[in-house]
Amino acid sequence: MKRTILPLLILIVMLLMSACSRYEDGPWLSFKSPEKRLLGLWEITQLVVDGVDRISTYREDSVYVRFSIISYDNMYINIVKEGSSGSQYSSSLLSFEDNKKFMRFELKRLAAYEQYTGPIYNLVPPLEYDHQWKILQLKSKEFIIELEEDGVLYRLTFERLEKVNVS
């Protein structure tokens, strides 16, 4: 009897853990809400356009902007120059959709900051328009989103530089 119960318990635990995962690439289990995992200053570490990593092109052609995700009463995503308190080149309300499997935002291109943000918008034009990005992974130190538009697949991998403690 004991021999049949242990494998059954292991199977149940494995099924429960896999059911806890909301995102394709993990994490399998997290005790932090998606909102808390997203708060902070982020940099793009991989920028894939149609299967080709364009991160070196992005870094060569830009001032290397970063993304700050903050929350007051609502969550916002900002393009910033250096840190979370630096100049904001664009800002958008960030919302979750479909049981937090997707995020929606629209980072409008501002002519005054074109010299700083042009390279990221040239490589990833959908950033500028209202889109629903699929969240593939959402860990405390890394998250991955992707979007297909006009037959082109965009995948962005972000790594956390610092936490932003704004509530």
CA distance 141 to 15: 26
**Does residue 99 lie within any of the structural domains?**
yes
**Does residue 30 lie within any of the structural domains?**
yes
pLDDT at 21: 53
CA distance 144 to 132: 13
pLDDT at 61: 73
One-letter amino acid at 116 equals Y
- CA torsion sign for 140, 30, 137, 132 is negative
pLDDT at 25: 45
**Domain count within the chain:** 1
**Does residue 87 lie within any of the structural domains?**
yes
Question: Could you say which residues of the chain have pLDDT below 50?
Answer: 18-19, 25-27, 29, 167
* pTM value > 0.85: no
H/E run at residue 155: strand 152-162
pLDDT at 64: 75
CATH at 12: 2.40.128.540
The full DSSP string for 71-85 is ESSSEEEEEESSSTT
**Does residue 29 lie within any of the structural domains?**
yes
Which residues form the domain of 47? 2-162
CA distance 128 to 107: 5
- Residue 95, classed as helix, strand or coil, is strand
pLDDT at 129: 96
**Does residue 167 lie within any of the structural domains?**
no
Residue (of 50, 54, 57, 53) closest to 150 by Cα position: 50
Written as six digits, the tokens of 103 are 């995020």
